[in-house]
Structure formats: C-alpha cells, structure tokens
Amino acid sequence: MECRSSVDIFTEWDIVAARQLGRNEAKSIGFGTVDQARITTAISELARNIYLYAGKGNIKIERTYDNNQYGITIIASDEGPGIADVRKVMNDGYSTSGGLGAGMPGVRRLMDEFNVQSEQGVGTTITAVKWLR
Amino acid sequence: MNKKMAKCIHENLDSILERWEYRMKDVEEERFFHFMPDELIDKTSREFAELMTSNLQYSEAINPEKLADFTEKVVRFGWSIKFVNKSIENFSDITFEIMEEEGVIDQSNVREYMKTFSKWISPHRNSIIDAYAVEWERTVKLQRIALQELSASLIPVFEKISVMPLVGTIDTERAKLIMENILDGVVKQRAEVVLLDITGVPVVDTMVAHHIIQAADAVRLIGAKCMLVGIRPEIAQTIVALGIELKDFTTTSTLQRGMQEALKLTNRKIVEVEN
Amino acid sequence: MNMRIPILKLGDILIVSIQWELDDQNAIQFQEDLLNRLHSKNARGVLIDLTPIDFIDSFIAKVLGDVINMSSLMGAKVVITGIQPAVAITLIELGIRLENVMTALDLENGLDKLQIELEA
C-alpha cells in the first residue's frame, strides 16, 4: 500500500472533498467511468455515515497492489458510538436516520471487498477495496 | 552413479524415446500423437527427454526458462495434466528398464539406483507440474478475456430500437459488462427500446434473472425501455418454478414478436409495399 | 459554496438543469426552491436534467425521490432526463430503483414525454 491521502470529516462539505479526492485517485489509477462512479458513491456513503452517526472521523484513500492487481482502498474510520448490530445495518432497507437504508449494503455491492470492524463506544473502521479489472 | 546413468540414457536416447512414444500412444484420450506431424512429435519428445535429463549431469534444478518454454508448448498442444504425469512416469520406467537391459543396473546396486531415481524424478515431477499449472491458469485467464471480448454488443436495428443478443452462460462479471454495454449503447444509439434476446442463454436461474432485472432497471433510469425476448418454453418453466417476478417486464417468446411490440411502443409499424 | 440551481419556466413546465455536483445543503435548497416555484407559477410539469452529473449517492437520490413525490402531491408530473449509464449502474447497485419515475434520454425526449403526459 502506498500514496496515502486522507480527508477529515467534520462538516457536510468534507463529504464533497472526500469524494472528489476519491474520484481523482480512481481516475489516475485507471478506473473506467462506471467504476469511478461506484467508488465515488461508496466514499460519499461512508463519509455521510461518519458525519451523521459519529460526528467526525476520517476517510483515507490508498492505492493498493496485491497479487498482480491494482486497486483502490477506502478506509473510513471514526471514534463514534459504534454499530450495535453489524448484521442489521447490512440489511437492505434498515435505517435509523430516515434515509433510504441503502448505504451500507449498497457500498458492499459497489465495491469488491468490504469489511466492518466496530466496537460499541470505541468506534468503527470500514475498509472497502475495488480492484482494477 | 549419476554420470553413468546420464551416459546410458544419452547413448540409448533413441530407443527410450521410441518406447516412450509407443506407450504414450496408448494413453486414454490421447490426441497429440495422432494428429501432430511426425517431426513435431519427435522434436517435442526430444525436448521432453532433454528436460528430464537436464539435472542428471549437473545435479542442479531444471533451467526455469527451458521449463517455461516447454510447458507453454505442451499446454498449447492440449496435453492434459494427466498426460504430463503419465509422460514422466513412463519416461522413468523405460529408463529403468533400458538400464537394466544394458546391465548398468543389476542385483547389487538396484537399491541404490532406486534411490537415485526417486531423487531424480520427484523434483522433476513437481516443477513440471507446477509450471504446467501456472501456464494453464494463464491460458484460462486469457480465454476468459477473449470470452468477455466477444460477449454482448448492442445492435441498432431500427431508429429508436436496438437489440442485444445474449449467448452463453451469464456470470456476475459478464452481467456487469453486459449492463455497461447496453447502457452505453442506448445513449450512443439514442435507443428508446432495447430488446434483450436470451434465446442463446442455456439456463436462467435466480442469479441470471436478477442480473437481467437490474439491467432493465438501469435502462429505465436512463430513459429507455427494456424488453426480454427469446423466452423458450423450458426457460418460462424454470422462471415460474423459481418464483422469479418479471411482472414489470414486457416479455415475448421470439425476437420477431418483440420487434412488433417495440415498433408499436414507438408508434410505428411495418407496411408491405404494393408494386 | 451556496450556489442556487436556476429554475427556468417554459409554458407550464419548469426546467431544471443540474450542472454541478450537489452537496447536501444545495440539494435541500433546491428542493425548497422548486416547490416554491411550482406553487407560485402554478406549473403542471417539471423536467430535471442530470446530464452533467457523474454520480448520485443515496442522499441525493432520496432528495430527488422526495422532490418527485412532493411535486406529484402538488399536481405536477416530473420527468428526469440524462441520467448517465455509470450513474444508473451505481444507483441500481446501491439498491435505489427510483420506481414510478418518468425518465427520458435527453431534454428533447423528456419534453416530448412530458407534453404527452400533460395532454393525456
């Protein structure tokens, strides 16, 4: 892993900044327009989750090279309340914010790899990877 | 002992190869020896023998470049892994026999030679089979790319109407590609109706149906309509048996009828001209 | 950052072209502006063109869906035009189907569809 870049999420505008960073990174790695949209959208969802539920946190974008494949890794971390039931938030239509409830399961579908680590009262780290086809 | 063995193999190489080819012809599902020209068989066999004996004299591992060269060749020839394994086995058996016949191996040193043989063959088998597996994987990967390239292009048939014929099994990877091709095509061709023809899709299970529904949804979002045509009786049966909902779809059994529907949707019809 | 999205009037149709990436504030502002215009102009149709937009996340999708539902409560038909293929694919993968939305390939098609709907 190399080329770390990150955005701290405090305000709604930081969400825009995070997805712009992700889009540029995805473009420079060589992802096509559809994958760029997938990655940008995933970052937007993750950043918004931080803003809504944890108040503040951080989005890191990394270039990944593994097993002869290039990819992009998004790491969304916060020190918020944590997720009480990870399985529940991965269900379509589950929402505590009045949104569409598409965020988390949606991000998993948009990306190739998806991993949630969460501890109540400590925080949440979500790692998502998209590989260059 | 190795030197003696190498010398014996070298001197009797022709008869070893002759016997080896003879035995390999009997291997089940063997095509190589039956279809390839003689000089190619001879060349490949010699290369194989050279590869097999290369570490006898110098007691070092097989030259990796030669090994890669050889495996690439046999994968291209369509040697199966079973066949490769059998080749090594036969070669070692025949060498042993010839050395017995030549009197190099006798009662007194047979145990020693058995040890030498297993030391000689095992690493060979491993590295050849490893290299074979790597080469095979590479070939499969290339074929997959080739398959992706020939799959799915959107064909503009009339103004506002395009058709995508789907052929073969649809997996997730292909489904994504198909979806992208449809959407890009719709925008480029300014299609208002897309006919997705699944006549050539052997099986429609829940996953394939799910991909088709997703594609149709995406087509709807960009402002066109997707129709599913070419539904064979057995496909209709499986779709209903699996409880797949295709209610929101216009579906027809043939492309022809689908085309009529599509023309109707775009307020047109085909008229015969009288002379 | 607070740039308002211009809302144009053509006959009894309001035309909105979203030209740049919406942040959350802009999206909410747009929702309010559109509903107000709809009321004051007594418009019967709305066309929202998304051609320049290269991604839509669930928040913006929700705002759009809400706008459509609210507009139809106020008696106006809405057509969305110019959704890019990449955007459509991500929306579907996110699980957002935007059902009951009229869509069209581009502005021209959209206006045609809207006219037909309004005449019906």
Give tens-digit pLDDT for B104-146. Answer: 777 888 888 788 777 777 777 787 788 788 888 888 888 877 7
How close, in Å, is residue C22 to chain A by CA atoms? 9
Chain A residues within an 8 Å CB radius of C84: 33, 37
pLDDT band at B191 (very low <50, low <70, confident <90, very high): very high
Which of A37, A129, C68, C56 shows the shortest CA–CA distance to B184? A37
- Whether B69 shows a pLDDT value over 90: the answer reads no
**Given this model, what pLDDT does residue A1 score?**
45
CA–CA separation, B76 and A120 (whole Å): 57
Q: Which residue has the higher pLDDT, B118 or B268?
A: B268
**Read out DSSP for B35-102?**
HS-HHHHHHHHHHHHHHHHHHHHH-SPPPHHHHHHHHHHHHHHT--HHHHHHHHHHHHHHHHHHHHHT
**Is residue A52 within 8 Å of A80, Cβ to Cβ?**
no
Q: What is the largest CA-CA distance in chain B?
A: 101
pLDDT (average), residues B62-85: 75
**Given this model, what pLDDT does residue C17 score?**
93
Query: Which residue reads 């297993």 in tokens?
Result: B118
**Read out DSSP for A17-68?**
HHHHHHHHHHHHHT--HHHHHHHHHHHHHHHHHIIIIIS-EEEEEEEEEETT
CA–CA separation, C26 and C32 (whole Å): 10
CA–CA separation, B15 and B99 (whole Å): 12
CA–CA separation, C78 and C49 (whole Å): 11
Q: Which of C90, C91, C103 to mutate to test the interface with B (most CBs of B within 10 A)?
A: C103
Among B149, B183, B205, identify where a domain stops: B149
Angle, helices B206-221/B172-189, rounded to nearest 10 degrees: 20
The partner residue sitting opposite A41, judged by closest CB among C24, C25, C94, is C94
CATH number of the domain enclosing B225: 3.30.750.24
Statement to judge: residues B50 and B95 lie in one domain: yes
**Is residue C22 within 8 Å of C55, Cβ to Cβ?**
no
What radius of gyration, in Å, describes the C-alpha atoms of chain A?
A: 14
Q: How many folded domains does chain B comprise?
A: 2
Q: Hey, is the C-beta of C57 within 8 angstroms of any chain A C-beta?
A: yes
**Given this model, what pLDDT does residue B151 score?**
65
Among B91, B116, B149, identify where a domain stops: B149
Inter-CA distances, B267 with B45, B52, B161, B224, B261, Å: 69, 73, 12, 15, 10
Asked if residue C2 is part of any domain, the answer here is no
Encoded tokens for B240: 């209903």
Q: Which domain holds residue B236?
A: 155-265
**Given this model, what pLDDT does residue A52 score?**
86
**Given this model, what pLDDT does residue A95 score?**
67
pLDDT (tens digit per residue) in C66-114: 999 999 999 999 999 999 999 999 999 888 888 888 999 999 999 999 9
The ipTM estimated for the assembled molecules is 0.86
**Given this model, what pLDDT does residue A104 score?**
83
Chain C residues within an 8 Å CB radius of A16: 21, 23
**Is residue A111 within 8 Å of A128, Cβ to Cβ?**
yes
A26-35, B21-30, B150-159, B208-217 — which is least confidently predicted? B21-30
Statement to judge: residues B165 and B140 lie in one domain: no
Q: Which of B180, B219, B221 to mutate to test the interface with C (most CBs of C within 10 A)?
A: B221
Give the percent of chain A with pLDDT over 90: 47
pLDDT band at A93 (very low <50, low <70, confident <90, very high): low
**Is residue B197 within 8 Å of B166, Cβ to Cβ?**
yes
**Is residue B186 within 8 Å of B164, Cβ to Cβ?**
no
pLDDT band at B227 (very low <50, low <70, confident <90, very high): very high
Q: Which residue has the higher pLDDT, C4 or B55?
A: C4
Neighbours of chain A (3+ CB pairs under 8 A): C
**Given this model, what pLDDT does residue B103 score?**
78
Q: Which strand (E) or helix (H) includes residue C85?
A: helix C85-94
CA–CA separation, A51 and C24 (whole Å): 12
**Is residue B79 within 8 Å of B129, Cβ to Cβ?**
no
Q: Hey, is the C-beta of C97 within 8 angstroms of any chain A C-beta?
A: no
Asked if residue C19 is part of any domain, the answer here is yes
CA–CA separation, B271 and A48 (whole Å): 56
Mean pLDDT, chain B, rounded, equals 83
Among B149, B182, B200, identify where a domain stops: B149
CA–CA separation, C13 and A133 (whole Å): 44
Chain B residues within an 8 Å CB radius of C85: 180, 183-184, 186-187, 218, 222
Asked if residue B204 is part of any domain, the answer here is yes
- Residue A9: which residues within 8 A CB-CB, separation 6 or more? A15, A18, A47, A50, A51, A56, A57, A58, A59, A78
Asked if residue C40 is part of any domain, the answer here is yes
Which of C79, C75, C80 shows the shortest CA–CA distance to C38? C75
Q: How many folded domains does chain C comprise?
A: 1
CA–CA separation, A107 and C93 (whole Å): 8
Asked if residue B272 is part of any domain, the answer here is no
Which of C85, C65, C84, C71 shows the shortest CA–CA distance to C114? C71
Domains and CATH numbers, chain A: 2-131 (3.30.565.10)
Give the percent of chain B with pLDDT over 70: 92
Chain C residues within an 8 Å CB radius of B222: 83-85, 88, 103, 105
Contact check, Cβ <8 Å, C96/A100: yes
Q: Which domain holds residue C106?
A: 7-119
Contact check, Cβ <8 Å, C95/A102: yes
Which of B45, B74, B51 shows the shortest CA–CA distance to B63? B51
Asked if residue B39 is part of any domain, the answer here is yes
The partner residue sitting opposite A99, judged by closest CB among C1, C62, C86, is C62
Statement to judge: residues B20 and B48 lie in one domain: yes
Statement to judge: residues B137 and B162 lie in one domain: no
Statement to judge: residues B161 and B145 lie in one domain: no
- Please name the residue ranges forming H helices in chain B: 2-11, 13-24, 32-35, 38-58, 64-77, 81-101, 110-150, 172-189, 206-221, 233-241, 255-265
Statement to judge: residues B13 and B107 lie in one domain: yes
Contact check, Cβ <8 Å, C61/A41: no
**Which chain B residue shows the shortest CA-CA distance from C113?**
B223
Q: Which of A100, A109, A110 to mutate to test the interface with C (most CBs of C within 10 A)?
A: A100
pLDDT band at A29 (very low <50, low <70, confident <90, very high): very high
Task: State how far Cα A22 lies from the chain centre.
Answer: 10
Q: Give residue ranges of B with CB < 8 Å to any C CB.
A: 176, 179-180, 183-184, 186-187, 190, 192, 214, 217-224
Statement to judge: residues B110 and B142 lie in one domain: yes
Q: What angle do CA B188, B189, B195 make, to 5 degrees?
A: 120
CATH number of the domain enclosing C85: 3.30.750.24
Give the total residue count for chain B. Answer: 275
Q: Hey, is the C-beta of C101 within 8 angstroms of any chain A C-beta?
A: no
How close, in Å, is residue C95 to chain A by CA atoms? 6
